[in-house]
Chains A and B, each alone.
Chain A
Amino acid sequence: MKILNLIIVLFSFSSVLVEPNCEAFKYYGDTLKYEACKKAMEINGHYQFSKEYQTILDESLKIDPTFDYAYWAKSIAYLKSGDFVTWRKLIDKAVEYNPKEHLGYRGWCRYQFFRDYKGTIVDIEKLDSLVDYDIGQSQNGTYHLNIAKGLCYKAIGQKEKAITIIENQIKFNEDENFVGKYDYLHLGVLYLETGEFENAIEMFKKQSHTNELAENQYYSALAFLSLDKSTEYKSCLKKAKELYVGGRKMHNPYSNPMDKIYLENIENEIKIAYNN
């Protein structure tokens, strides 16, 4: 029972593996890749971190050292354990043998795990130049890759460029009825940071309608403060604290998202609000 519980916990938080279609390799006459693929599929049922999982993929790569999927699958445990050196060697191999498939993933991980803003921009823009289709979402589905790219431009100080990228992507996302769970919030914070307070509040209202968060109310409060609307400022701070304590806050199992705040931030702001 103990082992069963462990297995349930482990697999409930493992990455969703997009399995390759081994038969397709066979159909196109690539028997080596077909054999490597069949071997790699034996990882099913093994935890990404386990020696069994890693060993199976090593055997797959012995069959075909150009099989990108095996490098990618091997790299995940290193990524999640913070071993950026080994991760990078493995994921670079995956990108080398199949750039269209792995560039977006590598770029996203560089942002999510290592805050490698410039590296993420390079990878996402490279992918964009290689394909004529939508470059798609981040691995965890939180953002369209263009939103992630916009956040990276913000992080390196190019806020106007970040705003343009994120505004454009949100328009597309609205058309597709597929707005990301933090999209409006990030754009609102960018407006707030560039002094566009009315626009910021408009975005925060949209965020409230789609996915209310403590962060959303906290930044709303700051925007109202900048507009000298004291009542709204205090009211938003109160809501922010309630939401935070109730667990309605930005969350990611692996890392802290950009624009995330902590209870300390809210409480400090409340102290300021009521001392004035």
Chain B
Amino acid sequence: MKNYRKQKKLIVILIFSSILLSCQSEKKVSEKQDYLRWVGDIEQNDKIDQLDLKACYGDDEILQYFNLGEGPIYSGEKSTLLNIFKSRYRPLIDKEQNGLIRIRFFVNCKGKAGRFRVLQSDYNYQEIKFDDRIVTQLADITKSIENWKVLYRREVPVDYYMYLIFKITSGQLTEILP
């Protein structure tokens, strides 16, 4: 009887131990899963993103613009894009407003863009926050572009990630990349 109790106790300890170990290993796995599928992937956020704009082939098939080998291309070429920002951006003259603003988004197979995300840094690549009036303008102009270039792989239109980087010096828009 005593032996049976001892065995029972041992089994309980082993079960608890295994549960504890499995929790720890699960934790390790989840730590490793901090990365999304790819660096730079943007998950849909229903609170801020357009609900009816979907990737045509699902999020796991979204490529990067350069995967198609055509370089950064825009509807009407880059000169059209430059003209849009040149005519619509109103500079906020302020010597403190210097650095880079990236707006990253995805373009679906129909050339429609969504899930816009902003990253900001000074010219030393340190994260900062620009005056909202600059960021909002750039984001609004980017979002207002109705048609982006449809990119194809083997004649099939694809979904892809794209970004624009704005160089801001004293509140003036000096360059748009890529």
Interface residue SS majority, chain A: helix
- The total of interchain contacts (Cβ-Cβ below 8 angstroms) comes to 109
Top 3 A-B pairs ranked by shortest CB distance? A81-B40, A51-B35, A88-B125
Report the bound CA distance from A10 to B70 in whole Å: 13
B119–A116 CB distance below 8 A: no
B153–A13 CB distance below 8 A: no
- With contact pairs A114-B100, A255-B178 given, residues A84 and B69 touching in the complex (Cβ less than 8 Å): no
- In the complex, chain A residues whose CB is within 8 Å of the CB of B126: 85
- In the complex, chain B residues whose CB is within 8 Å of the CB of A81: 39-40, 64, 104, 161, 163
Identify 18 residue pairs between A and B in the complex whose beta-carbon atoms are under 8 Å apart, listed by A's number.
Answer: A5-B154, A6-B63, A9-B63, A10-B63, A47-B38, A51-B33, A84-B100, A84-B119, A85-B119, A89-B125, A115-B177, A251-B71, A253-B70, A254-B72, A255-B177, A255-B178, A256-B177, A263-B77
The proximity string for B residues 144-177 relative to A, scoring 1 for CB distances below 8 Å and 0 otherwise, is: 0000000001100000010101010000000101
B35–A82 CB distance below 8 A: no
A252–B71 CB distance below 8 A: yes
Partner of B37, one of A6, A50, A83: A50
The reply to whether the CB of B97 lies closer than 8 angstroms to some CB of chain A is no
- In the complex, chain A residues whose CB is within 8 Å of the CB of B71: 251-256
Partner of B165, one of A49, A55, A114: A114
B39–A83 CB distance below 8 A: yes
The reply to whether the CB of A97 lies closer than 8 angstroms to some CB of chain B is no
User: How distant is A90 from chain B, measured CB to nearest CB, in Å?
Assistant: 11
The proximity string for B residues 96-133 relative to A, scoring 1 for CB distances below 8 Å and 0 otherwise, is: 00001010100000000000000101010111000000
Within 8 A of B (CB), among A24-55: 47-51, 54-55
The reply to whether the CB of B27 lies closer than 8 angstroms to some CB of chain A is no
Most buried by B among A54, A78, A251, A253: A253
Report the bound CA distance from A256 to B82 in whole Å: 13
Report the bound CA distance from A50 to B37 in whole Å: 6
- In the complex, chain B residues whose CB is within 8 Å of the CB of A10: 63, 67
What is the size category of the interface that chain A forms with chain B? 35 or more
Within 8 A of A (CB), among B57-112: 61, 63-64, 66-72, 77-80, 100, 102, 104
- In the complex, chain B residues whose CB is within 8 Å of the CB of A178: none
B125–A84 CB distance below 8 A: yes
Report the bound CA distance from A197 to B32 in whole Å: 60
The reply to whether the CB of A12 lies closer than 8 angstroms to some CB of chain B is yes
The reply to whether the CB of A159 lies closer than 8 angstroms to some CB of chain B is no
- In the complex, chain B residues whose CB is within 8 Å of the CB of A252: 71
Report the bound CA distance from A119 to B32 in whole Å: 34
A77–B100 CB distance below 8 A: no
Report the bound CA distance from A119 to B102 in whole Å: 19
Report the bound CA distance from A253 to B40 in whole Å: 18
The reply to whether the CB of B1 lies closer than 8 angstroms to some CB of chain A is no
A54–B35 CB distance below 8 A: yes
A82–B102 CB distance below 8 A: yes
Report the bound CA distance from A253 to B70 in whole Å: 6
Partner of A83, one of B36, B64, B69, B119: B119
- In the complex, chain A residues whose CB is within 8 Å of the CB of B100: 84, 114
- With contact pairs A5-B153, A113-B178 given, residues A85 and B127 touching in the complex (Cβ less than 8 Å): yes
Report the bound CA distance from A50 to B60 in whole Å: 11
The reply to whether the CB of A264 lies closer than 8 angstroms to some CB of chain B is yes
The reply to whether the CB of A262 lies closer than 8 angstroms to some CB of chain B is yes
